[in-house]
Structure 1
Amino acid sequence: MGAKRIAVISSSEFLSITKDRVAGYKEALKAHGIEANDDYIHYSFYSGMDFSEIEAIINKLFTLKQKPDAILTTSDKITTGVLKTLKRRGIKIPDDVALAGFSNTDIPELIDPPMTIVRQPSREMGEAAVNLLLQLIESKRPVKEFEKRMLSPELQVRASSMGKKKATRKTSK
């Protein structure tokens, strides 16, 4: 949507899911000709459970000389902390900063403005996990190699990631 200074706030950097999501963030930036900037990459050791940690990250981002024009969050709890902090600071979405996150709930549709999300195929993930577990349980031999499956998420673009004029046009239809 035209953002060039895109920050990411993710869970602990020691988690494999965090590594995958941050790698995807960097790949997407590269694909759009944007160089990843370490000043815009932040990790929440407590995965958003400690609000003061998220507040400190947002405060740090918005004291940079080049403030982010978009933020990607990688969990609902982090998103909640980001929304709360932005509201407290009087930063408007999407007028001042675009926002997108990962979610499997319908709550992002209820936020004003409705939030852009990466929806994960949670039902398919659960089914695949149960099937793989059953295969392990029923196996007659010790399992030494484990299968890793990647399921495709769905990007649901909504007003939170659009510029002011675009969001106004989109929501007025």
Structure 2
Amino acid sequence: MVRKRTSISDIAKELNLAVSTVSRALSDHSRISEATRKRVWELAEQLNYQPNHLAAALRKGRSNTLGVIVPNIDGHFFALVVKGIEEVANQAGFNVMLCQSNEDNAHEAKNVETLMNAQVDGILVSLSRSTHDFKHFDKVQQRKMPLVFFDRILTGSEVSAVVVDDYQGGYQMTKHLLDQGRRRIAHFGGPQHLNIYKDRYRGYCQALRDADLPVEEELVVLFKKMSLEDGPAGIRHLLALPQPPDAIFSSGDFTAVGALRALKQHGLRVPQDVALAGFGNETFSSLTDPMLTTVDQHCEEMGGAAVRLLLEMIQERTRQWSPRKIVLQPRVLVRESSAVAAAVAVG
């Protein structure tokens, strides 16, 4: 049999006091006598009274809880972003309710409903790969609930967001490969309706144009998932070309590592025969052989910046927010998979 949770009303009835008096006594209100406060606290301890902080917060119009939706927390990136979110949120006195969409649009929509029903004070979200519109966020905006996106948003959308300059990341990485003397550089990209993959591809294209090199369609392979398994599939396509590439820039580390494995299986040396670079600075990128050149996205900084932006919106009373965007600068981490000199030095 489940024991009923002791309420303020129970204490008030037992002591023959008004509920408001008990409430003030438990809050150490100055208008309540020391004797009354002592009686209330002694009975509260005896009955194992636990205050309902959520209910109290909701009565004040604030739950002190932030909702977070991420595609998953399996990898290094989102796990560290969430760490950054929780650190800043906790410092500001907020709790975090975390949901995973598992890269599914319908599940993401359910996450939104769950967080709204929990009456969170605001929502932070990184879109799933299968999300093509913002329809399930309409209710959030209609309720005038603060909403901030991070990392993944829809291409061309005007929303409050914290992102990395993916265009610059793609540009700088491609330029790095060009600086290594590579001239036939392939690209592995993801769903182009998402900003991160679209902008990394744009940076790749512009770097080639600035080097007076064409963007060859046969060297661009786009995937729906950018998974580990996509890497070997991309390599099979590239090696079947009359003139295979001498370098590959992948928009994600998982696909890059899959490609690394496939290149070795085909007897090709990395980077001597094919230079390879990824994006994301996943933990495993420094554990591969050779270690993977990649782009660091400042995960924890992104999470913290997203929370601070959301808190600014929560604190504003007008509820009329113009879209605000914070853009973090990427950092190219050059390792053995793209620089022959580095590979030789380590060897």
- TM-score, normalised to structure 2, is 0.45
Which piece of structure 1 moves more, 19-28 or 104-113?
104-113
Q: 1: CA distance between counterparts of 2:333 and 2:324?
A: 29
Aligned residue for 2:257?
Answer: 80
1:171 aligned to 2:346?
yes
> How big is the shift at 1:60?
1.0
Instruction: Tell me how large the CA RMSD over aligned residues is.
Output: 1.9
Alignment counterpart, residue 145 of structure 1, candidates 303, 322, 328: 322
Give the SS at the match of 1:72.
strand
1:27 to 206, 211, 215: 206
Q: Secondary structure at the match of 1:150?
A: strand
Does 2:274 align with 1:97?
Answer: yes
Q: For 1:130 and 1:144, locate their aligned partners in 2 and report how far apart those are by CA, in whole Å.
A: 16
For 1:104 and 1:159, the matched residues in 2 are separated by 14
Contact 2:280 2:296 in 1 (8 A): yes
Given residue 133 of structure 1, which amino acid in structure 2 is its aligned partner?
A: L
Cα shift at 1:36:
1.4
Contact 1:69–1:96 at 8 Å: present in 2 too? yes
Q: Distance in 2 between matches of 1:117 and 1:19?
A: 18
Q: 1:96 to 1:169 in 2, by over 3 A?
A: closer
What secondary structure, in the 3-state scheme, does the structure 1 residue paired with 2:212 have? coil
Equivalent residue for 1:133? 310
Equivalent pair of 1:58/1:82 in contact (CA under 8 Å): yes
**SS across alignment from 1:103:** coil
Moved more, 78-87 or 126-135: 78-87
CA apart distance, 1:104: 2.8
Higher relative contact order (CA 8 A, sep 6+): 1
Structure 2 equivalent of residue 11 of structure 1: 190
* Residues 168/83 of structure 1: CA separation in 2 closer, same or farther (3 Å cut): closer
Describe the shift of the 1:154–1:98 C-alpha distance in structure 2 as closer, same or farther (beyond 3 A).
same
Q: Secondary structure at the match of 1:160?
A: coil
Residue 125 (structure 1) shift: 1.1
How far did residue 143 of structure 1 move? 3.8
* Aligned pairs for 1:49-64 within 5 A: 51=229, 53-64=230-241
- Could you tell me how far apart the structure 2 residues matched to 1:168 and 1:85 are? 19
Residues of 1 paired with 2:202 and 2:267: CA distance?
31
Summarize deviations over 1:73-122 as a string: whole Å, max 9, x none: 11122123212322332222112200011123342222111221111111
State whether residues 13 and 45 of structure 1, in contact with CA within 8 Å, keep that contact through their aligned partners in structure 2.
no
Larger-gyration structure (1/2): 2
Preserved contact between residue 337 and residue 343 of structure 2 (Cα < 8 Å)? no
- Is 1:40 the counterpart of 2:219? The answer is yes
- Counterpart of 2:291 (choices 96, 101, 114) is 114
C-alpha distance in 2, partners of 1:161/1:96?
10
Shift of residue 144, structure 1, vs aligned partner: 4.5
Q: Is this contact kept in 1: 2:246–2:273, CA < 8 A?
A: yes
**Is the 1:10–1:78 Cα contact (8 Å) retained in structure 2?**
no
